[in-house]
Amino acid sequence: MFFRKINSRRAKQRVFQITRATGEVLTAMQDVIEEFVSYFQTLLGGTRSQRNIDLSFLQQDLKHRLTQVEANILDAPVTRNEIKEAIFDIEEDSAPGPDGYTSAFFKAAWPVVGEAISEAIVEFFRTGKLLKQVNATLLALIPKVHKPAHVSDYRPISCCNVIHKAITKILVKWMQLVLHLLIDYSQNAFVPGRSISDNILLAQELLFFFSVTVNFINKGTYK
């Protein structure tokens, strides 16, 4: 019964055919694979630009800047405690990356692998370099509709290695300490401590103000 359910699930997840934008139906497995690869290479891929982009012109428009003390927060070396906290904060059932290991393995084997993992992450923050094997990502294709027929009917989800996830968590934690200092006060959505409803109330107040100013009465609208 158990294996029958597994086989049934695999059969549902397998893509046997795909329809091109031209209407051509591909049934050969190699053609189906190439169609997916071509589509997502166009969507997600790109050539690396070697141009040096000058962003100095943006400095004159920056309203908020970090003080030296605040900037030192981002420049501080990563600690092994931060690395361990990031690893242990990853959900154990989170989808594994190309190496096949979930955070459950690293947590259970931390006395053995902890030093090597910590040294690898410290080296990344020190040099800015990361092994391409660690940076590799699997794309899991999730159907967006009940019966997907085209490549565009699938939504890609990135499955990263645990080390990659840990580095991301550390960076996010650091940015959370200073991001609210850089985002303008008019930005209320998606900022901790602020509410998008404040902008709704502001819009209502503006509508009331213009209604009274233009119509001399409060109609809620103005002409």
Residues 164 and 82 in one domain: yes
If one counts the domains in the chain, the total is 3
Residues 128 and 170 in one domain: yes
Residues 194 and 108 in one domain: no
167-181: average pLDDT: 90
Residues 80 and 26 in one domain: no
Residues 208 and 166 in one domain: no
Distance CA(55)–CA(178), nearest Å, equals 21
Cβ–Cβ under 8 Å, residues 140 and 79 = no
DSSP letters for 147-214: S--SGGGEEEEEEE-HHHHHHHHHHHHHHHHHHHHHS-TT--TTSTT--THHHHHHHHHHHHHHHHHH
The answer to whether position 73 is within a domain reads: yes
The answer to whether position 61 is within a domain reads: no
pLDDT, tens digit (0-9, with 9 covering 90-100), for 64-81: 788 888 888 888 899 999
Domain of residue 15 covers 1-43
pTM over 0.75: no
Cβ–Cβ under 8 Å, residues 26 and 36 = no
174-188: average pLDDT: 83
The answer on pLDDT for 210 being more than 90 is no
Residues 104 and 195 in one domain: no
Residues 136 and 210 in one domain: no
Residues 71 and 121 in one domain: yes
Count Cα neighbours of 41 within 13 Å in the Cβ-side half-sphere.
Answer: 7
Please tell me the least confidently modeled range out of 2-6, 108-112, 124-128.
2-6
User: Looking at residue 222, what is its pLDDT?
Assistant: 46
Residues 9 and 76 in one domain: no
